[in-house]
A = this chain, B = another copy of it.
Amino acid sequence: MCDYSQLWLDWKPRKDLPPWTGRIIGMPASPQGKAALRELREGLAALGAAAKEDGPCLRLEELPGEGEGYSLSFEGGGPVLSGPGRGLLYGAFALLRQLSLGESIRPETSAPRYPLRMLDHWDNADGSVERGYAGSSFFFRGGRPVCDARTRDYARLLASVGLNGCCLNNVNVSGEALELLTGKYDQTLREIGDTLEEYGVGLWLSVSFAAPLDRGGLPTADPLDPAVRRWWGETCSRLFRAVPGLRGFLVKADSEGRPGPQTYGRTQAEGANMLGSAVLPFGGRILWRCFVYNCAQDWRDSQTDRARAQYDTFAPLDGAFADNVLLQVKNGPVDFQVREPVSPLLVRLERTKRMVEFQLAQEYTGQQRHVCWLAPLMKEVLDFAGPAGKVKDRADALCAVSNTGDDPNWTGHDLAAANLYAFGRLCWDPDLEAGSLAREWAGLTFGPDRLVEDTVADILLRSREVYERYTAPLGLGWLCTPGTHYGPSPEGYEYDRWGPSHKATCREIGVERGPGGTGMTAQYGEVLGARYGSADTCPEELLLFFHRLPYDYRMKDGRTLLQRIYDDHFLGCAEAEAMAAAWDALEGRVPEEVFRRVRARFREQIRSAREWRDVVNSWLYRLTLIPDGKGRKIYL
């Protein structure tokens, strides 16, 4: 067949299938409806349903339209799955999932919570993947985009968890990726778009704001320049016709050295809206990244606070963005750390469409060598209540940086596939519980085995806090190695133009972001701002994100801040060892190859967790010369 796994779509035979699974009636006409029928036929057969000519059956009823919901009812001993083609596809995967997990099939109606649910690929045209930890790109090979069997299988995976969008290329657009706009690769893009579309997945492209200069031969990329507007208009006119699956552009502008409207003295809204009007005639949309900050900050400057930057830039523009522009806002105000507060933009914007951006690629969370299941983090963000309501209720879309590559298991670490799965499911229904998602994924992936399900779900559910404990003390991120972002280097970002600094001295640690400091807490509004603004009321897990505190600061349980950090690092490391031991007990119950791959990753996780524990503890011990209260080994 193929040299890569089908992940949770590798249906395993069951003995308890209902009788209607042997017979399907209905002939959907849309590509997505046809895909639904094909998936059901092949899926039910794989689950062990014996084809029958009569008796109870599953009936597909295709409704007109582009809607994505479906309903399931029962009629004459068999279910009727009803909906537009796209809805049928999601309903088909839901049925297969429920059958595979041995759940009873009940009447339901279901529709996705968000109209746009997508993955962003940071794949480069040369086949490399920025912050990719699962091999090379499967969208680009040999310096150009490709469409092959894996494209289709990837679309199936996305549809099976309810995702409906996919941005093909890195937001840092360079090299041959600049040609994606020029027509050179229209044919391949059309094939990719059509293949994705068959599974209801829309195609998006990252574009460079400087494209009119780089590829248009214009002397400027000023968004208010008529020639620039004309160039974008003509480019879109060709591209959207040539690539019917195209839904719009993702743009990283004025960020980390990339060009943008600021270059021409224009606002972010002027930049985004210009592109918005270029894609509007084709029903297109613009996803505008908010990751704008000064990346050449002098470490001596204690006034500039990178955590403030996005809100300061975008909040004044609330309401100024066109209807077909969505702001893409990272879940936290800095950059995908294992623990950050929710971005104030997500809770304060009122008149601007926004999509929450997560990072499944584990750049700062163990790089798919450590287990770090992000569903609990995503849930925290989505359930977070700000002045204007909960994040999940105010968001217009969700997206995530993909953690995939051309590794046989797609995600490098086999357990990292659970991040992709959970993200898709939460996009469909953010009210799903992390616990049930963990069990769902384990059950679909490894088949019915209670010990495996319990063990894997337990590992997944603990993993993020474990990683947090041995790496980032109380919201203090950025202790990682500069550049690679893997492994500890507690002072690595201290005297640097990129990173937030903790300015740890022999007495205190952290940056004060309360009213006495950079004032960033005020960005959260009155109530939340007051809560975060005082160390007494600040949630302890964010204490060092928001405050500068002495090492003998008393935590609520009476321990000193320093002792709490020591304890967390010893505990986190021990927990990593315990998770690895729990996995070892699954030998013989999961496929040998998977068992060995995951065991090897756990070995690296333990090695790295010990390094984190010892380096962070030694660093603070050297600063303070205060020994561990429990007499454990801290190296000088």
Interface residues of chain A, those whose CB is within 8 Å of chain B, are 299-300, 302, 488-492, 494-495, 503-507, 611, 614-615, 618-619, 621-625, 635-636
| CB proximity of A614 to chain B, nearest CB, Å | 6
Please tell me how many copies of the chain the complex holds.
2
Looking at the complex, which one of B494, B506, B618 makes contact with A625 (CB distance below 8 Å)? B506
Contact status A495-B489, CB under 8 Å: yes
Cα distance A72–B505 when bound, in Å?
Answer: 67
Extra inter-chain contacts (14) besides given A491-B491, A505-B636, A506-B506, CB under 8 Å: A299-B635, A300-B635, A302-B635, A302-B636, A489-B491, A490-B491, A491-B492, A495-B619, A505-B625, A506-B623, A506-B625, A507-B625, A622-B623, A623-B623
Bound: A492/B504 CA distance, A:
16
Contacts of A491 in B (CB 8 A): 489-492, 494, 619
7 pairs, CB–CB < 8 Å, chain A vs chain B = A300-B635, A488-B495, A491-B494, A491-B619, A495-B614, A495-B615, A506-B624
Do residues B636 and A503 form an inter-chain contact, with CB atoms below 8 A? yes
Give the distance in Å from the alpha carbon of A138 to the alpha carbon of B298 in the complex: 38
Whether the pair B300, A622 counts as a contact (CB closer than 8 A) is no
Closest CB pairs A-B (n = 8):
A506-B506, A491-B491, A505-B622, A300-B635, A495-B615, A505-B625, A503-B636, A506-B625
A302–B614 Cα distance when bound, in Å, is: 14
Q: Which residues of B contact A492 (CB under 8 A)?
A: 489, 491-492
Write the chain B residue with the least CB distance to A300: B635
CA distance A492 to B507 in the complex (A): 22
With A488-B495, A489-B495, A636-B302 already in contact, the answer to whether A505 and B614 are too (CB < 8 A) is no
A622 touches B490 (CB 8 A): no
- A495 to B614, alpha carbons, bound, how many Å? 9
User: Do A622 and B488 have beta carbons less than 8 Å apart?
Assistant: no
Please tell me which one of the listed residues B300, B611, B622 contacts residue A503 in the complex, with CB atoms under 8 A apart.
B622
Q: Roughly how many angstroms separate A491 CA and B620 CA in the complex, as a whole number? A: 13
Taking CB as reference atom, which chain B residue is nearest A505?
B622
B505 contacts A300, C-beta separation under 8 Å:
no
Q: How far is the CB of A518 from chain B (nearest CB, A)?
A: 14
Which residues from B are CB-within-8-Å of A618? 495
How far does the alpha carbon of A507 sit from the alpha carbon of B490 in the complex, in Å? 19
CB-CB nearest in chain B for A611: B495
Which residue of B is nearest A622, CB measured?
B505
How far in angstroms is the closest Cβ of chain B from A439?
A: 39
Chain B residue contacts of A489, Cβ below 8 A:
491-492, 495
Set of chain B residues within 8 Å of A615, measured between Cβ atoms: 495
- Chain B nearest CB from A301 CB (Å) reads 9
Whole-angstrom distance between the alpha carbons of A636 and B624 in the complex?
A: 17
